[in-house]
Chains A and B, each alone.
Chain A
Amino acid sequence: MYILGISAYYHDSAAALLKDGEVVAAAQEERFSRIKNDPSFPRRAILFCLQEAGIALSAIDIVVFYDKPFMKFERILETFYRHAPLGFKPFLKGIPIWIKEKMFFKQMLRKELRTLGRYDETHTRLLFTEHHLAHAASAFFASPYEKAAILTVDGVGEWATLSLSLGKGNKIEVLKEMHFPDSIGLFYSAFTYYLGFRVNSGEYKLMGLAPYGDRSSETTLRFAELIKERLVRIHPDGSITLNQAYFNYQTGLTMVKSRKWEKLFGFPRRKPETDLLPAHCSLACAAQIVTEEILLKLVHEARKETSATALCLAGGVALNCVANGRIIKEKVFDQLFIQPAAGDSGGALGAALAAYYIHAGKERTCRQPDRMKGALLGSAYTDAEIRELAEEENVPFRSFDNRRELCRHTARLLARGNCIGWFQGRMEFGPRALGNRSILADPRYPEMQQRVNLKIKFRESFRPFAPAILKEEAASYFDCPVCSDYMLLTAEIRDCYKKELPPGYADLEITEKRRIAKSDYPSITHVDYSSRLQTVDRETNPLFWSLLTAFKEQTGCPMLINTSFNVRGEPIVCSPADAFRCFMTTDMDYLVMENIIFDKKQCKT
């Protein structure tokens, strides 16, 4: 039985294909279209999935979409109705597309599918699942647990912005929901907006900025108090009520009422790309503190309501790895699984899994470590395709027959301080590069963070880098009681590697804080000693594991900087051509694609 899951028309459209419940392929459209967070119908992603399975569209039994458009329209209309005549502008902006296209969603989807190939509409059923059920299914059915509490937290689906469910076998029972306009995702996005980052994609930046604020400083604590007094009421079960007098997303085209926020926090909305001031860091820190408080309350509630010992997380907020780190530390649950594609792209996979287990009622068997195959579900390319590219570009290269030798050579280059593009095997599904579409560097060099940020990624210098570490070495270096195979947890570096901070450190400017080495591995240690950790498993990604092992043998260091293979504003590279283009337009020194190495010095001459 083939099931195709689709997410589209909001942000991060994607496709996922199941064969008898097994994930055959999954990919985001942005990787193929090269448009970041591409919301359009995932035509190329679907074609890739079909190609990977070696089937035509006509072989698909069920196509399932990740939300219910009528219910979403109901929410939009009700919101307009409730606030009329306010909200006239967004009404004008939003309604025409609904009456023209989105109301006829089923027909539109069929039309799009027909452009991909012939199929029998009586054989291929078209289903729709609720948005949060798709998220819950993406987490629970992919997890290794027979029974688990499931929390899904995001901006908004149809009405739900949060759901607490109990997963058991092949069933998911929704226990509680929180509805729009109260939303933890929108609450976090409001701060993203106010601090000058892009909503729906800049949330990572807010999370990366937060540690530059001092959690115990008077300003941060005052901001946190103000947030809880004026903006959000946190209930004992972790649900929230947002004070809509301060938010504008229901009736306007912005997230917040900026004047009110300015009066509240004492500074205006930061304009994008302008300097980050200490007050911005303190507000980011306060927003993070309050978000963590809400999420921890929710996790306790989930335990109380379900009595399960395992927890599954999904939804955009589940990508907040700092909060996830806190959840682990609290030890409310014995086990935790976070869907690596926790955002809307993962909804495609969740919808397909929900159709297979809930709609078709198929039996489910649990498997360790999980069903995500290391999230390596995207497209792969052969040596021959890469050689062809080299010939087209007329550039010299060196080829290795032996993968062990390839790893040894690459490790040597890394140890000499080179920055390397590492393009191997199947592309990752979800927002993280996990060692198949990665830029790698040696974390021991103090200047590496700035070099990679400014000369390779062309992104803000304050943003930290994540370490990829051999799984068996992780506990020696980081205070993390569990594995973090999908780079979704932060953990503090062990005391023995920490460096003492100078007096008055907390009062320093953001640029000064960044310059001071916090540990023996300065490029991957954030200002608060934390790191967004990826533990690399030998079984899941043997080649990346071999590279880390070779690096450890040569340097004694079992980790590398691992950042996604892209530049700011672009999606992660998909094909060898994308990788080569990115390599040539940045300051990267070498590019390793499969068994072939390109040297920048030789490519330029």
Chain B
Amino acid sequence: MEFLKDLWGFFRERKKWWLMPLIVLLLLIGLLLLATGNTVLAPFIYALF
């Protein structure tokens, strides 16, 4: 929660809303990585990026 609050605060202060989709996407990938223990998705993610 604190992280999301800080992230929202960052967007409000910097007003770089266009970065939001990119950061959210990266965050989702990060969460997926965490959820799968960094192994199953890792090759897919490296290939994607």
Whether B30 pairs with A81 at a CB distance below 8 angstroms is no
Whether B6 pairs with A95 at a CB distance below 8 angstroms is no
Contact of A95 among B10, B19, B49 (CB under 8 A): B49
Contact with A along B1-41 (1 / 0, CB 8 A): 01100110010001010010011001101100110001000
Q: Known interface pairs A78-B19, A81-B22. Does A106 touch B49 (Cβ–Cβ under 8 Å)?
A: no
Chain A contact residue count (CB 8 A cutoff): 18
Contact of A103 among B2, B19, B30 (CB under 8 A): B30
A92 at the interface (CB under 8 A from B): yes
**Distance, CA A103 to CA B38, complexed state (A):** 16
B46 at the interface (CB under 8 A from A): yes
Whether B14 pairs with A103 at a CB distance below 8 angstroms is no
A245 at the interface (CB under 8 A from B): no
Contacts of A107 in B (CB 8 A): 2-3
Q: How far, in Å, is A268 (CB) from chain B's closest CB?
A: 33
Question: 7 closest A-B pairs (Cβ-Cβ)?
Answer: A99-B30, A70-B10, A99-B26, A92-B49, A99-B29, A104-B3, A77-B19
Chain B contact residue count (CB 8 A cutoff): 20
Contacts of A78 in B (CB 8 A): 16, 19
A391 at the interface (CB under 8 A from B): no
Contacts of A104 in B (CB 8 A): 3
> Chain B residue with minimal CB distance to A104?
B3
**Distance, CA A95 to CA B42, complexed state (A):** 13
**Distance, CA A466 to CA B36, complexed state (A):** 56
Whether B19 pairs with A100 at a CB distance below 8 angstroms is no
**Distance, CA A71 to CA B29, complexed state (A):** 20
**Distance, CA A99 to CA B26, complexed state (A):** 6
Q: How far, in Å, is B9 (CB) from chain A's closest CB?
A: 9
Whether B27 pairs with A103 at a CB distance below 8 angstroms is yes
Contacts of A92 in B (CB 8 A): 46, 49
Contacts of A77 in B (CB 8 A): 19, 22-23
Contact with B along A61-94 (1 / 0, CB 8 A): 0000000001101100110010000000001100
Contacts of A71 in B (CB 8 A): 10, 14
A98 at the interface (CB under 8 A from B): yes
Whether B27 pairs with A99 at a CB distance below 8 angstroms is yes
Given contacts A81-B22, A95-B49, A99-B30, 17 further A-B contacts (CB under 8 A): A70-B6, A70-B10, A71-B14, A73-B23, A77-B19, A91-B49, A95-B26, A96-B45, A99-B26, A99-B29, A100-B33, A100-B34, A103-B26, A103-B30, A106-B2, A106-B6, A107-B2
Q: How far, in Å, is B2 (CB) from chain A's closest CB?
A: 7
**Distance, CA A95 to CA B22, complexed state (A):** 12
> Chain B residue with minimal CB distance to A107?
B3
Taking CB atoms and an 8 Å cut-off, the chain A residues in 465-515 that contact chain B are none
Q: Can you report 23 A-B residue pairs in the complex whose CB atoms are below 8 A from each other? A: A70-B6, A70-B10, A70-B14, A71-B10, A71-B14, A73-B23, A74-B14, A74-B19, A77-B23, A95-B26, A96-B46, A99-B26, A99-B27, A99-B29, A99-B30, A99-B33, A100-B30, A100-B38, A103-B23, A104-B3, A106-B2, A106-B6, A107-B3
Contacts of B49 in A (CB 8 A): 91-92, 95
Contacts of A100 in B (CB 8 A): 30, 33-34, 38
> Chain A residue with minimal CB distance to B28?
A99
A81, A99, A106: most-surrounded residue (chain B CB, <10 A): A99
**Distance, CA A74 to CA B9, complexed state (A):** 13
**Distance, CA A95 to CA B34, complexed state (A):** 15
**Distance, CA A107 to CA B2, complexed state (A):** 9
Q: How far, in Å, is B44 (CB) from chain A's closest CB?
A: 13
**Distance, CA A81 to CA B16, complexed state (A):** 13
Whether B10 pairs with A106 at a CB distance below 8 angstroms is no
**Distance, CA A103 to CA B22, complexed state (A):** 13
**Distance, CA A309 to CA B18, complexed state (A):** 44
Q: How far, in Å, is A73 (CB) from chain B's closest CB?
A: 8
